[in-house]
């Protein structure tokens, strides 16, 4: 029954890192100024990126998984921006 409600509302839980990664990558690429701020040591801006992922998934993303992926992407930096 709950699955039917979720499906009817067009909602979805994003718990698979392989599905969340492209969304996180897009958020980082589309926000180069914020990425630069994060990379300069101001890690508090990570919440901004998590909010963008949550918005993109209609609050369906697993925030902990999104956070982990975003931290990895933002620390990498070499293929982003």
Domains of the chain: 14-76 (1.10.10.410)
pLDDT of residue 78: 45
Q: Tell me: pLDDT of 4 over 80.
A: no
Q: Report the distance separating Cα 69 and Cα 51, nearest Å.
A: 14
Q: Tell me: pLDDT of 81 over 90.
A: no
**Residue 23 near residue 48 (C-beta atoms within 8 A):** no
pLDDT of residue 45: 97
DSSP string, 10-41: T---B--HHHHHHHHHHHHHH-HHHHHHHHTT
pTM confidence score:
0.80
What are 18-55's pLDDT values in tens digits? 999 999 999 999 999 999 999 999 999 999 999 999 99
């Amino acid at each position: 029954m709950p699955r039917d409600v979720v499906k009817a509302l067009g909602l979805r839980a994003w718990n698979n890192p392989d599905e969340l990664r492209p969304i996180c990558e897009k958020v980082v690429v589309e926000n180069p100024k914020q990425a630069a701020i994060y990379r300069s040591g101001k890690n508090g801006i990570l919440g901004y990126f998590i909010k963008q992922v949550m918005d993109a998934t209609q609050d369906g993303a697993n925030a902990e998984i999104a956070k982990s992926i975003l931290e990895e992407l933002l620390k990498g930096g070499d293929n982003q921006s």
